[in-house]
Amino acid sequence: MLNPKMEEALNNQVTAELYSAYFYLAMSSYCESISLSGCAKWMRAQAQEELYHGIKIYDYINERGGRAVMAAIDKPPAEWESIQDMFAAVLAHEQKVTGLINDLMNMAQDERDHASTSFLQWFIDEQVEEEASVGEVVDKLKLIGKDGNGLFVMDRELGRRIFTPPAAG
């Protein structure tokens, strides 16, 4: 059985994950509006991944005898100064999410909730991958600078991303 403190914290994380999906959909729309369809596809895949994360936590809450409760989701930004600024915002956002996940892990350990500790390890590992992936994009965009040809190639590369849910297990 999930204790009420952990249940509330996990519900807050569901909201954070759903906000993340909203955030990335807003970015996808922005990219479409400036004809960067590859970046838009990358952001849309990112949104799908965040929805997957939210539902994974939602299901876990319910499996443990808690109740997943939907809360209001804040409106995300809709404009960015540049693609470089937008991806810098993505990296900052993922770093914030990493902090939230780490806080959940700390709480699970403090509460001696071994099941939640085990469950959250997947998210810890996922955030390492998320930050590394976005960090690489940010670094490449810094190298490109204002070079339109470089951005064209980068957009095409980012457009290859497809979200595939992890295998159950």
The pLDDT tens digits of the residues spanning 61-120 come to: 999 999 999 999 999 999 999 999 999 999 999 999 999 999 999 999 999 999 999 999
Q: For position 103, what pLDDT does the model report? A: 98
Higher-pLDDT residue of 108 and 169 is 108
Number of H helices, E strands in the chain: 5, 0
Q: For position 104, what pLDDT does the model report? A: 98
pTM of the full structure = 0.94
In a domain, 168, yes or no: no
**Non-local CB neighbours of 35 within 8 Å, separated by 6+ positions:** none
Q: For position 165, what pLDDT does the model report? A: 85
Does residue 168 register a pLDDT over 80? no
> Residue 88 corresponds to which tokens in the numbers above?
């810098």
CATH code (residue 40): 1.20.1260.10
What secondary structure letter does DSSP report for 64?
Answer: T
What is the tally of structural domains in the chain?
Answer: 1
CA–CA gap between residue 83 and residue 89 (Å, rounded):
10
In a domain, 64, yes or no: yes
In a domain, 165, yes or no: no
Angle of helix 4-33 relative to helix 83-110, nearest 10 degrees, comes to 170
Read off the pLDDT band of 166 (50, 70, 90): confident
Do residues 53 and 100 lie in contact, with contact meaning Cβ atoms separated by under 8 Å? Answer: no
Find the radius of gyration of the CA atoms of the chain.
Answer: 17
Does residue 169 register a pLDDT over 80? no
Mean pLDDT of all residues in 116-136 = 97
